[in-house]
Structure formats: C-alpha cells, structure tokens
Amino acid sequence: MRPDSRVVLVSGGAGYIGSHVTHVLKLAGFSPVVVDSLVSGNLWATRSANAFRQGDVGDRDFIRAICDEFRPVAAMHFAAFIEVGESVKRPEKYFTNNRDKAKVFFDTLAEKGGGNIVFSSTAAVYGEITDSAPVREDRPTRPINPYGQSKLDAESHLRGIGNVKSVALRYFNVAGAEPSVDLGEAHFPETHLIPRIVLPLIDAPKDIRTALGLAAGFRIFGTDYPTRDGTAVRDYIHVMDLADAHIRALRYLLDGGKTEVFNLGSGAGYSVKEIVEAARTTLQRGDFNPGIEPRREGDPAILIADSMKAKVTLGWGPQRGIDRMIASAAAWHRSQTYAETIVKKANTASQ
C-alpha cells in the first residue's frame, strides 16, 4: 500500500505538546490524524487535526485499522504518562503505557510498512547530572526514575526496528502556549513551573488555584549556586519552538535522513531569578517577591541542553524567550477553555 505523503499520525495529539504540533503540521501543509485515548487529553485540543480517532496506541487492531484508513507516511509519538513523582509510586503504570504500548505502536507501524517516526523523548533519560556542562546526546543514559527508564526503553526499541527510520527528540522543559488558536497546557495535576508561577500572578479563580494546590506560593530554593546570579539554571523552550523542531525532524526523515537523537534546549537556559524577573515585568506584577529557602539536596546548579546537533543537522534554534513563554501562558490560563477544563478535571478527580 502506497503511503499518502501528506498524512502524519499524531499519537497523544489531544495533549499539550501534541496539540500544538498538530496545529503547526496543518500550517505546514501536512494532514495530521490524531489518535488519542483521551486518558488525560482533551477533545477540544484536536480541532486542528484533519481527523481524530479515539483509541489506545497499545491496541494493535486499532492502529492497524488507522494505518489502512489513512496510509500515513510518518508518525509522531507523544502519547505517554508524564508525572515523574507518580512514576516512582506506580512504576508499572508507566512501563505499561510508555514502554509496552509504545512498542506495540511502533511494531504495528513497522508491520504496516515502516516509515518514519518522530518520538517525544526527555532529558529524564540522562538521569542525575552533577556537573554544569551542557548535556550532549552522547552522555551516558542512566535514568533515575521509572518515567525516564520507560521513555529510554521505548526510544531504544524504536531505534532497533529494521524498516523504520526515527528521530528521538529529548526535551528538557517546555512552556508557553498558542492562545491565538485557543491552545495551551491544561494538565491536572499541574507540576510544571511556569503555570505554577503564572496562575497565582494572574489571579486565577480561587477554585482553580485550590484544585491545583497553588496556595503555598512560589519559593526560590538556593541563591548561593555558582551561577550567573546565584540561582539554579534550567532549560526551557517555548512549545511553538518545540513544534517547529518536530516539523524539521519530520522533513529531515522524509528527505532521507538517518535515525538520530537530538536534544532540544535553549542553550544558555534561564536562572530562577531571570524567570521571576520575567514574570514581574511581563505580568506587571512588581510586587512578586518569592520567598527564599536553602538549596534542596540533589538539585544541580545548572541543567541545560547542548542543542548544537539539532542546530547543525535540522537548522533548528529557539526563537522565543522566557518573556513570550510567560506572556502566552498567562493569556492561555486566562481563557475560558482552560478554566472549564480544569474545573471539569477537578470534579472528575473528586468523584
């Protein structure tokens, strides 16, 4: 069966990152087909897709039927569980979904003709980083939690499949939104830093802040690190820059590129103080003065990606800085879609 050169399967396209990539795929002239079980995603987030089919990536017959119906030339695999803390408490949940079901998804695509797969991997595959050097792709991979291990196992399996070419994109931290098309991050629970800073500062409704456990406020842990301003440095990229990297990775594979792994990061990263300052100015909250606590044990001073390989091979680099991540997140978190989604998820969780 000849593939349709425009069709790209997007697993997990009803989630945060997958929905933004679906939107950008459409803008780039592809025909994205979203498959998502909606276990944590949202139906509204699939609106840019050419088609949406609800189902599980671990359901071989379902994926076979999707391949027969749409004849995709490529797939992007976002579907996964993403909470590191939960993965420590419930490792099987993560190994089943992120490793075993990913394997079924990849093997079924291979059985249906192979093709090209872009995989959402993570910095968690590297494990504990104790030095401050930017992390390159050739660092040893030694995950320290089931989330990281399950993603690494899926990545390794994918690389070993004979008739599939793949790109694994290892992202560090992702933030921001595309509020102009009513897309953004609507996780429940929400453990990511930027939404947890932004929601209290935009005076989000009390029921939302309570549901997300945001009463304690943001605190800085450690101001005596050997960094440019004493606070820890982490790597954030805007979700629309991440989407751009996915389109480039896809084109790279379609143009004959070989199987590869790329880190995606900002290069210099952002210190906690820089993020606080950006939140103050962008959200006009000069009164934002988070409390200061001692360093937490085990928190490295600097954790940033070396993305030179993605720059050289894919021509990719981030275009949007921390101000835009915060401003776009704030606009999205003020939206009705976001508020309704969180209230609904909180109600379901409390039943």
Ligand X SMILES: NC(=O)c1ccc[n+]([C@@H]2O[C@H](COP(=O)([O-])OP(=O)(O)OC[C@H]3O[C@@H](n4cnc5c(N)ncnc54)[C@H](O)[C@@H]3O)[C@@H](O)[C@H]2O)c1
Min separation Cβ 67 and ligand X, Å: 15
CB-CB contact of 245 with 172 (8 Å) = no
Cβ closest to ligand X, residue 192 vs residue 295? 192
Alpha carbon distances (Å) from 87 to 40, 90, 128, 183: 15, 5, 16, 27
Min separation Cβ 119 and ligand X, Å: 8
| Integer Cα distance of 222 and 30 in angstroms | 46
Measured in degrees and rounded to the nearest 5, phi and psi for residue 119 equal -115, 135
Catalytic residue from among 94, 126, 147, 171 = 147
User: CB within 8 A of 125, min separation 6: which ones?
Assistant: 141, 143, 148, 151, 152, 155, 170
Cβ closest to ligand X, residue 213 vs residue 291? 213
Cβ closest to ligand X, residue 89 vs residue 228? 89
Dig out the tokens for 87 from the structure.
């993965």
Cβ closest to ligand X, residue 78 vs residue 252? 78
Rounded-to-10 torsion of CA 102, 306, 17, 38: 30
Alpha carbon distances (Å) from 172 to 120, 127, 235, 239, 243: 11, 12, 6, 11, 14
Min separation Cβ 11 and ligand X, Å: 6
Strand pairing category for 219-221 and 115-122: unpaired
Closest to 27 (Cα-Cα) out of 129, 256, 180 = 180
Cβ closest to ligand X, residue 58 vs residue 115? 58
Q: What is the DSSP letter of 178?
A: B
Min separation Cβ 242 and ligand X, Å: 9
Cβ closest to ligand X, residue 108 vs residue 215? 108
CA angle 87, 134, 126 (to 5 degrees): 25
Closest to 71 (Cα-Cα) out of 2, 117, 168, 155 = 2
Collapsing DSSP states into helix, strand and coil, what is residue 219? strand
CB-CB contact of 219 with 125 (8 Å) = no
Binding site for ligand X (CB under 6 A): 11-12, 14-18, 36-41, 56-58, 78-80, 82, 97, 101, 120, 122, 151, 171, 173-174, 187
Closest to 316 (Cα-Cα) out of 272, 253, 263, 254 = 263
Cβ closest to ligand X, residue 43 vs residue 292? 43
Min separation Cβ 150 and ligand X, Å: 9
Instruction: Provide the β-strand partners of residue 149.
Output: none
Min separation Cβ 40 and ligand X, Å: 4
The yes-or-no answer on residue 16 being catalytic is no
Min separation Cβ 35 and ligand X, Å: 6
The residues annotated as belonging to the active site are: 147
